Chains A and B, each alone.
Chain A
Amino acid sequence: MKPLRFPPLLAPPAIRRLGLADVAILCLLGGAIATVIAFAREFEAPLRQVVQIDLRPAALPKYTLYSLTRGVLALAISYLFALGFGWAAAKSRTAERLLLPLLDILQSIPVLGFLPGLVLGLMSLFPTRNMGLELAAILMIFTAQAWNLALSFYNSLKSLPDPLRDACRVAGWRASRTFWQLEVPAAAQGLVWNGMLSMAGGWFFLMVNEAFRLGDRDFRLPGIGSYMSVALDRGDTSAMALAILAMVVMIVCVDQLLWRPLVVWVEKFRLDETAGGASTASSWMLDFLRLARLPRRAKLFRRRAYLTARRATRPFERPWRAATPVILRGPRLALENPITRKVAALLFGAAVAAVALAGLWQLWLLLAQLGRTELGQLASSAALTFARVMAAVVLSTAWALPAGVVIGRSPRLARALQPVIQVVASFPAPMLFPIVILLFERIGVGLGIGAVALMVLAGQWYILFNVISAVAAIPEQLKDAAAAFQLPPVARWRTLYLPAAFPALVTGWVTAAGGAWNGSIVAEYIEAGGTLRVTRGLGSLISDATAHANFPLLAGGIAVMSVMVVGWNRLVWRSLMVWAQTRFGLGQ
């Protein structure tokens, strides 16, 4: 009989000699550990009022690693959150009804506005250390990463075919095993692709997160974002260029070393077994890892460690097994009884309502301090920024739609450009804002118009990506039909490409508008070359209120922006999306 546990490749015992690949992996591991240790030391360092940022190029790698570590930590937290959140929403109808709208709102409101409160709160928790500031930065990155991951996990749980679930239940799998061996693998592809997007989204506010001013206090963390902002303050052009270069190098490295291999690897977890979906993607890193012997050794070690752990816990197994039913019986009995269930639901609902009311009351107390002039200021700024957001969406569409169609309809072009665009799109646009504004000033364009261009930078990629993938997904037969009937180019665009791209275009608009709203906070209020440039708008109002620690106005600005974004999503984008899907959806 053949051994079933390991692939036959492992059988020969001659795996002693270390290869070059193993050395490389060891070095990488060592580097990662060193970074984490250095980072932890940073955590413990006493709080200096202002961290001195060293502009010498030699310091840049260290700063880049600090920023990267924050992003990776936040991503890890985001994944944990997504698994818990998505699972709860998919399993319980009550949770679903509560969590989905919450998610919808959380992902569309400008989280940056909460940074001041978060920083101050966490700083008072850890008054003598940098820990509070670090935690605040990580939490802020988390808020830019978590929502789409949670939504993706929830969606794949919901679309899991019933027979697969039944098969696991008939096999007697416990819920935890079904989770790790059915539900998570089935969601793996979505989780990896969305993780990629999340990582890029997390960089967006890098500069603000790491170099943040509240009133006359200056909160700064060592990182590539604060390096850039100091370089901007001093007008040090070479340092700016170096920071941008470092950022690009980091993004390319993360893409090549982390995401590419993951994307290729999760191909294994595809649920639809249709042929033709075989991906042509490849990753030199994954091939390299597959060649290396260390991971296989690691697997063996892991198994041994697992067995040892099992052996060690064996004495506890029996009491545990006896205790669990007793522990579980109480809640289970309570949940099975309709009366207690109703009472519990009522209590839960009451608690949620109480928290919501308390929050509303606090908000009202803040807003009540706003005077008439300030309210007028809020309304006019909101109108201005709204106009800028819409202009940014229109401008982004004007170039990204044709470009997306052209790239998407040629598989060769799409394959060649996709990685490039991905890297470019991951680059945090706000790092470029000051440079773009300086250029604009030279040609005589003010920030009032310039802010629109900055918001285009913040939102355009979503449109481009969505259009490319929609056009690439047009069935080959439809394209053949268009060719066979010799449709002239104009008709081909009007009857085939544009309608087919339209549903994806609407999705792109939603995200692009979200990006533009978020971008307005940094686009309308820019410090470059040591001088501050401000143009009227909701974003600059929020930034200004933050800078002057004017909390009532800050709360008002965030509230207005949240209501506008969520309202517009619900009223306009959603109905447009439904219409686009029924009218132009390709699924028949």
Chain B
Amino acid sequence: MTPGEVLLEAQQVTQRFRLPNGQILEALRQVSLAVREHEVVALVGPSGCGKSTLLRLFAGLSQPTEGSVRYRGRPLDGVLSAAAMVFQSFALLPWLTVAANVAMGLEARGVVGQARRDAVARAINLVGLDGFEQAYPRELSGGMKQRVGFARALAVAPEILLMDEPFGALDPLTAENLRSQVVDLWRDPSTGVNTLVVVTHSVEEAVFLAGRIVVFGSQPGHVREELSNPLPYPRQERSPDFETMVDRLHAILTATLLPEPAPAATPQRLIPFPRVHVSEVTGLLDHLLTRPDGKGPVFELAEDLGVDYDRMSAVVRGAEQLGWVTTPGDIVQLTAAGREVMAMDDQARKDTTRARLSKQPLFARVLAMLRESEGSVEDEEVLADLTIYFPFIPADSLFQTIVEWGRYAELLDHKADAARLTLLESPEGASESRPA
């Protein structure tokens, strides 16, 4: 099927939210994207890049702060009735039967009486849930629930099917099975669905489903790159062409997730430390030690360790900031310092981490704040400071990272009861003021 005329179009869309703490979060900045008839478009990118926000804008569930969203050239006014949506968390009403859940969207579209019963039966039949009409959602497995989600969307015979990580909450086996059924549904002209927009976390899923893959970057969310995927349907996941496509997408994502280090001209720039745990970084180093030459591509590492790729890249960024790995291209390479630190005992490892963290610009700044105020600062003050420097990152998550790493390295401590950060600079001081 060749793409036809433009169905949905986002023009220079910017979306901002106000967080409960008053911080303003820019989820999307000047994003333009057109979806054409007969297309399958996948939106991929790290979490927090605004891809789900864009999907909600397409559905008409929220209005952009700036710019416009158009359907067939007309600006959207309220919810787009030509679209149906499938949710990651299924979003089924637990007190309605499967049949009643599937019928949810029909009444508003003027389908009543026998026509409604027919539409419900057909949609249930399409997703293979015959016999479960009178079941309640809590009696179904995750995969079956999502089938109900698909049936609900298909029942209204939408022009556009919007899917927000539809397989994200399912086990891999079920996800794979449902994924190929979605392709079949799309290719089957009788369903009426001819355009799909899917938000996904999985590179394989994007390559399997989409004819066009849009890669988002984060902070604030923006379109990094678009990639067209001409592989013929049905796609074979083990074919060389498929793997080439996956590798290409990996390379683009790596460039997004692991940008090359900033040029040396701006060494004083504050770099946010990613929200990763100490054990995750040591886990990564441990794993790299077991590999030949201590290196491997980031996506392979993610797969081996069973985490998703943007989590993996956050861990890699953390390790990189501490100087324990380097990232030429999409390869993660253990450094000599990284090997050394893994050979140390616990105390020596803490000492090294302390030395390295003290030089990390963000930690250095917090430590300087602490020294200026005689070793103790209120949480509020640090949070305010972080908000100024990193307006697009939730400050409390950064703060938690600082506390966790600071505690591990015995640089600082946090008194939750008093809501204060305290300095523990020298190791002697650290052992004295540590609670018994």
Binding site for B on A (CB under 8 A): 1-5, 7-8, 161, 163-164, 166-174, 181-182, 185, 268-271, 273, 582-583
Contact = CB atoms under 8 A, between A and B. Distances in A.
B93 A170 contact: no
B121 A1 contact: yes
Contacts of B373: none
B105 A171 contact: yes
A583 B108 contact: no
A181 B91 CA distance: 14
Contact of A163 (B87, B96, B104, B417): B87
A185 B94 CA distance: 10
Contacts of A174: 108
Contact of A273 (B59, B107, B138): B138
Interface in B79-95: 79, 81, 83-85, 87-95
Contacts of B103: 4
Given A169-B61, A171-B105, A173-B104, A1 B79 contact: no
Contacts of B84: 170
Given A164-B91, A182-B93, A268-B95, A172 B133 contact: no
Contacts of B83: 170
A6 B258 CA distance: 57
Nearest to B81: A172
Interface of B: 56, 59, 61, 79, 81, 83-85, 87-96, 99-100, 103-105, 107-109, 117-118, 120-121, 133-134, 137-138, 152, 156, 416-417
Contacts of A583: 417
A169 B103 CA distance: 14
Given A8-B134, A164-B93, A171-B156, 17 more contacts: A2-B121, A4-B99, A4-B117, A4-B121, A164-B91, A166-B91, A167-B93, A167-B104, A167-B152, A170-B61, A172-B81, A174-B108, A181-B96, A269-B94, A270-B94, A273-B137, A273-B138
A168 B94 contact: no
25 contacts: A1-B121, A2-B121, A2-B133, A4-B99, A4-B121, A8-B134, A163-B87, A163-B91, A166-B56, A166-B61, A167-B85, A167-B93, A167-B152, A169-B79, A170-B59, A170-B83, A170-B85, A170-B105, A172-B105, A172-B107, A174-B108, A181-B93, A182-B93, A270-B138, A273-B94
Contacts of A173: 104, 108
A161 B89 contact: yes
5 residue pairs, one from A and one from B, having the closest CB atoms: A172-B108, A171-B105, A163-B91, A167-B91, A171-B104
A443 to B, nearest CB: 47
B95 A185 contact: yes
Nearest to A166: B61
A270 B81 CA distance: 29
A325 B341 CA distance: 71
A273 B117 CA distance: 27
A8 B93 CA distance: 21
Given A161-B91, A167-B87, A269-B94, A7 B134 contact: yes
B133 A171 contact: no
A166 B87 contact: yes
A170 B91 CA distance: 11
B109 A172 contact: yes
Contacts of B94: 269-271, 273
A441 B424 CA distance: 65
Contacts of B417: 583
Nearest to B137: A273
Interface centre among A4, A161, A268 (most CB of B within 10 A): A4
B241 to A, nearest CB: 36
Contacts of A161: 89, 91
B81 A582 contact: no
B121 to A, nearest CB: 5
Given A4-B117, A7-B134, A582-B416, A163 B89 contact: yes
Contacts of B88: 163
B318 to A, nearest CB: 23
Nearest to B108: A172
Contacts of B117: 1, 3-5
Contacts of A3: 117
A264 B92 CA distance: 22
B87 A4 contact: no
A5 B103 CA distance: 11
B195 to A, nearest CB: 16
B155 to A, nearest CB: 10
B77 to A, nearest CB: 12
Contacts of B152: 167, 171
A1 B435 CA distance: 70
Nearest to B110: A172
Nearest to B61: A166
Interface centre among A167, A170, A273, A582 (most CB of B within 10 A): A170
Contacts of A273: 94, 137-138
A318 B89 CA distance: 39
B120 A4 contact: yes
B150 to A, nearest CB: 13
Interface centre among B95, B96, B103, B108 (most CB of A within 10 A): B95
B95 A269 contact: yes
Interface centre among B83, B91, B99 (most CB of A within 10 A): B91
A582 B415 CA distance: 13
Nearest to B105: A171
Nearest to A270: B94
Nearest to A582: B416
Contacts of A2: 121, 133
A173 B152 CA distance: 14
Nearest to B96: A181
Nearest to A8: B134
Contacts of B96: 181
B120 A170 contact: no
